[in-house]
């Protein structure tokens, strides 16, 4: 049963990459910072990305709380070689998505919102 659910989650991650051409890959991680499902290029290790994602999310949650911005929903990092968007799926899981430099951020945010909704359904 668990293998089947992971396959469904990975299918949704592949769909996210398909609908967002500048997407490089994505990962679902647990609240503990462990990879749950991934659609990543071979150059990226799931465990490495999950650990760094958890660190960023922890810092984002702390800053959001200290600045009284409410519960953290997303973190956006923009670099010269592309961007990374972290989006909470639920209290136990988060989606991390990597993009090339040619990403249209507004479209990527819409695609992520759609995917997060789909992933929430699968994780019920």
Question: Average pLDDT of each block of 10 consecutive residues along the chain (124 residues)?
Answer: 83 94 95 96 96 97 96 96 97 97 94 96 92
Q: 59 with 46: CB under 8 angstroms?
A: no
Second-level CATH architecture of 2-122: 2-Layer Sandwich (3.30)
- Number of H helices and E strands in the chain, helices first, is 3, 5
Provide the pLDDT for residue 100: 96
The residues near 18 (Cβ < 8 Å, ≥ 6 apart) are: none
The order of strands in the sheet holding 74-79 is: 35-39, 23-30, 93-99, 82-88, 74-79
Provide the pLDDT for residue 2: 67
Provide the pLDDT for residue 3: 75
pTM, two decimal places: 0.94
């Amino acid at each position: 049963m668990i293998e089947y659910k992971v396959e469904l989650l990975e299918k949704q991650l592949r769909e996210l990459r398909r609908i967002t051409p500048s997407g490089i890959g994505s990962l679902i991680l647990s609240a503990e910072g462990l990879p749950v499902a991934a659609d990543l290029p071979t150059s990226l290790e799931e465990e490495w990305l999950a650990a760094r994602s958890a660190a960023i999310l922890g810092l984002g949650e702390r800053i959001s709380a200290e600045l009284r911005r409410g519960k953290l929903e997303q973190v956006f990092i923009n670099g010269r070689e592309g961007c990374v968007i972290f989006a909470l799926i639920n209290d136990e899981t988060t989606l991390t998505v990597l993009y090339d430099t040619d990403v249209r951020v507004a479209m990527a945010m819409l695609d992520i919102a759609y995917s997060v909704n789909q992933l929430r359904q699968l994780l019920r």
